Amino acid sequence: MKSKFQLVALIGKYQTVASGASVTSSREALEAIAHFLHDQGCDVVLEQDTALNMDLTGYPQLTVAQIGEQCDLGLVVGGDGTMLGIGRQLAAYGVPLIGVNQGRLGFITDIPYDNFAASLSKMLQGEYVEDHRSLMNANVMRDGHCVYKAMAMNDVVVNRGATSGMVELRVEVDGHFVANQRADGLIIATPTGSTAYALSSGGPLLHPSIPGWVMVPIAPHTLSNRPIVLANTSHIAIELVAGRDASASFDMQSLASLMHGDRIEVTRSNHHVRFLHPKGWSYFDTLRGKLHWNEGVTST
C-alpha cells in the first residue's frame, strides 16, 4: 500500500551526542530509517545541516525552509530538544512531525528507535493520532524598541544571574498590574512546557488541549506567590525592575541579556506545531511513563 506521505524529510540531532548514542550510531539510525522509508515508497530528503554534520550522502538535501515548502512530513530523530528547535522553524509551514528517540523517550518524541519500523509502517498508511501544540511569541522591548524576538514552544523564562541575588519583576496581564515579584525568576509556559522547567518549579500540568498558559515563580521571596493559569489570549508583560545579570531564555535554546527597564512581552503565536503519534497514543500514557506514576504499584 502506498504511503500517505510522498516526500519525507529526515532531521537528526548532530549538535551534541544523543543520550546513550554515539555520532556513529546516530548516523546509522538515520541511514536505517532512510532505507526503511524508501522501501515504504517514500521519497527521502535530508535536512541540510544534518547531512553535512553527520556525513550522510546518497539523498537530496534541503534547508529547513525548503522542507517546509516542499515536504509532506518531517521525521525527527533525537530528543525533545531537537524537536523543539525544528518544530518552531516548521510551524509556519504546517508540516506534520513524527519523533523517533534513540535514548530515553521524550514527552514529544515518543517512538522508540528499537521499534520504529512497526510504528512507522502503520503511521505512513494514515493510522495515527494528530496533536496540535501552541506557540508563544516573545519580544524584549527596550526604550520602546524591540531589541530581541523569539518564538517558544515550551516556555519563556526570566532568570536572575548565576551569581546574583533575586530579581524584582513587575508583571502585567492585558495591561492590568498583577504584582511586583521578588524571586529567582519567572516562567511563562505553554501546556507543552508545563512538564518542563515549570513542573520542577512547582507548577501544574496542563493538558495540551487547554488554551492556556501557566505563570510560575521560581523560588519566590513570598510563599503566597503561587503559580497561576492564564488564557493564552492574554498579553503578558514582565518588566525587570531590579537585579543584576538577568536574562530571558526561550525554550532554553536562545538567550537575551536584560537591562533594568526592559520589558518581555509574551503573546500567542498564530502558528502551532503538528505532531503525529501512533494510533492509540495517549497523553496520560506519556505522563505515566515519564513521571513514573506507577512505580511501587502492583496491578492485580
Looking at 83, 104, 126, the residue that finishes a domain is 126
| Alpha carbon distance 300, 73 (integer Å) | 42
pLDDT of residue 23: 58
pLDDT of residue 18: 42
Choice among 199-213, 261-275, 280-294 with the minimum mean pLDDT: 280-294
Which residues are catalytically annotated? 80
Is residue 45 one of the residues assigned to a domain? yes
Question: Are both 155 and 201 inside the same structural domain?
Answer: yes
Domain with residue 170: its CATH number is: 2.60.200.30
Is residue 62 one of the residues assigned to a domain? yes
Question: Are both 242 and 141 inside the same structural domain?
Answer: yes
Question: Are both 168 and 246 inside the same structural domain?
Answer: yes
User: Could you please report the per-residue DSSP string of 8-28?
Assistant: EEEEE--SSPPTT--HHHHHH
pLDDT of residue 15: 53
| Alpha carbon distance 156, 215 (integer Å) | 10
- On average, the pLDDT of the chain sits at 92
Nearest-CA neighbor of 248 among 170, 159, 165? 159
**pLDDT tens for each residue of 78-99:** 889 999 999 999 999 999 999 9
- pLDDT over threshold 50, residue 184: yes
Question: Are both 146 and 247 inside the same structural domain?
Answer: yes
pLDDT of residue 57: 87
**pLDDT tens for each residue of 24-47:** 678 899 999 999 999 999 999 999
Question: Are both 119 and 139 inside the same structural domain?
Answer: no
Question: Are both 140 and 265 inside the same structural domain?
Answer: yes
Question: Are both 241 and 221 inside the same structural domain?
Answer: yes
The boundaries of the domain holding residue 205 are 135-269
Pairing state of beta strands 254-257 and 167-173?
unpaired
Is residue 252 one of the residues assigned to a domain? yes
Question: Are both 98 and 13 inside the same structural domain?
Answer: yes
Is residue 185 one of the residues assigned to a domain? yes
Is residue 166 one of the residues assigned to a domain? yes
Using CA of residue 181, residue 187, residue 188, residue 194, what is the dihedral sign?
A: negative
pLDDT of residue 22: 54
3-state secondary structure of 228: strand
> What amino acid occupies position 284?
F
Nearest-CA neighbor of 4 among 31, 33, 41? 41
Question: Are both 142 and 264 inside the same structural domain?
Answer: yes
Question: Are both 150 and 57 inside the same structural domain?
Answer: no
Specify the number of domains making up the chain: 2
Is residue 82 one of the residues assigned to a domain? yes
3-state secondary structure of 284: helix
